[in-house]
Amino acid sequence: MQLAYEYKEKRMTKCAKFELVLLENQSIKYKDFIKLIKNMKNDVTIIKNKTIWKNYELDNFTDDYVKKNNTKPETEDILSYKTVSGYINNQFKTVYSEMYSANLSQSIKDACKRYKNDLKDFKKGEKSITSYKKQPIDLHNKSIIIKYDTEIKEYIAYIKLFSRGYAKELGLQRCGLDFRLSTSNNKYLIKILQNIVNDNYKICGSKLELKPKKVNKKNVLKCYLFLNYEFEQSKNIDLDKNNIMGIDLGITMPAAMWYSNELRNSIAYKVPQHCGEYIIDGEETKRVRSQIFNRKQKMQRICKYRGDGSLNHGTKTKTNPVTKLNQKWSDFRKTQNYKFAKQIVNNAIKHNCGTIQMEDLKGVTRDTDKTFLYNWTFFDLQQKIINKAAEYGIEVKKINRVYTSQRCPVCGCIHHDNRLVQSVFKCVNCGHTDNADLNAAKNICDKDIEKKIKDSHCYKAGEKIDKSLSMII
């Protein structure tokens, strides 16, 4: 069993998106500012890719050294620096002297952290070496200062972007620029800024990005701040850690849920007013997906028969409508995942569950029976569940999914023939019948499910049941 999140008394981190409006009383025009940000984004992408490869080269050197000497050398003995990021930073600070030093350090640390996280999977051959494309600008927490201007009654962010020498070349008196943080009268965003100004929230490492926005029916590049902030846990709810919610991210629906304090043969989920407590309806998702994919296929066919007006304008112009649809689908999935995660955690609180168990879905491919999951961002959904659960102190665990869909939660029989139909579970031993996803959720909510499956006999297709073999309930 893998512990995805264990609650401890600590601070929570969240992210908020703000449009940045460059204040006019500065010696730089907006067009020039956009060009500078574009160049800096390219530099950040190159820096991160170079950092990955320097880590890779160091690992190769270390592996060769271990083979020859049977001992692993210390990083300080090889590089004369305590950390790899410190060594790389020392090399890059003269090459990328235009960047604010703290932001440069932040980019290098982020790439080093990503490399370490992916290293095991990379060595197993499950992942390729990370390659960055079109990266946002990394901002150190000390690079951002937010204040409230009483004269214009707006929140102002001072963001450090340039080194002192480069700032002088640009005719700036300081290393950064002042921006107005556009909130569009959003109460949620205003509350975040109020808490930051009042020191209730602490600013963390953030991102600065350029994104197109429609202005007078034209796409204009706008600058956005993805502000990460930290705050103390405030939602203290006394939940039962031994009461477990099991989640099956499913075949015919986004998620099915069951609770360890409920009977395994209960049919409460069939009552309409309780349906949302056990099943997340995926009909809207399927409808939107069908509409977008059908429209996408039509557009791809039309692209072959474009008129003369679209000729010689490049591939990007031809495929732009399809790209927009892909983005629309991506945005929809993210929004739905937020809704699903919120509903799941609210159900856990309602049923007094202090622990959530869900399948470890690593390795889901087209060959598996998880059709809905393969076409859905399941990792993103699981991560959002983990993040939302952390706000309420709910512990999240990931379990091995093997045989959870073939096991009967009533008698403990594990048989391949229990799932002759994809969406229906019917036990060949006791006759228990259930929705396939809900049946899996009933197994997943069992505290000792992995041990029970390991100690049970697993029948293959067509194999007769031997009553002398153990069935652990």
Q: List, for residues 386-402, the tens digit of each pLDDT value.
A: 988 988 889 999 998 88
116 neighbors 139 (Cβ within 8 angstroms): no
Q: What is the pLDDT of residues 45-85, one digit of tens each?
A: 999 999 999 999 999 999 898 888 888 888 888 888 889 99
Q: Which residue has the higher pLDDT, 378 or 67?
A: 67
pLDDT mean over 136-145: 95
**What number is the average pLDDT over the span 299-318?**
65
Is the pLDDT at 252 greater than 70? The verdict is no
Q: Do 456 and 470 meet the contact criterion of CB atoms below 8 Å apart?
A: yes
Q: How far apart are the first and last CA of the chain?
A: 19
How would you write 339-365 as a 3-class SS string? HHHHHHHHHHHHCCEEEEEEECCCCCC
Question: What's this model's pTM, rounded to 2 decimal places?
Answer: 0.74
Which residues contact residue 87 at a Cβ distance below 8 angstroms, ignoring those fewer than 6 apart?
79, 80, 81
pLDDT digits (tens, 9 = 90+) for 189-219: 999 999 999 999 999 999 999 998 888 878 8
Cα–Cα distance measured from residue 208 to residue 137, given in angstroms and rounded to the nearest whole number: 5
Q: What is d(CA 441, CA 278) in angstroms, rounded to the nearest whole number?
A: 9
Query: Is the confidence at residue 254, as pLDDT, over 90?
Result: no
Burial class (CB in 10 A: 0-12, 13-18, 19+), 365: exposed
Q: Would you state the pLDDT for residue 44?
A: 95
* pLDDT single digits (tens) 327-374: 888 888 888 899 999 999 999 999 999 999 998 877 665 544 455 554
pLDDT of residue 140: 95
Average pLDDT over residues 134-157: 94
**Structure token pair of residue 58:** 């160091």
Torsion (CA) 160, 164, 165, 171 in degrees, nearest 10: 70
Closest by alpha carbon to 194, among 147, 162, 145? 147
The values of phi and psi at residue 295, to 5°, are: -65, -35
Q: Which range is most confident: 5-14, 62-71, 120-129?
A: 62-71
Count the Cβ atoms, other than its own, within 10 Å of residue 464: 7
Just list the catalytic residues.
248, 359, 437
Helix, strand, or coil (residue 5): strand
Predicted local confidence at residue 369, as pLDDT: 46
**Cβ–Cβ < 8 Å for 280, 338:** no
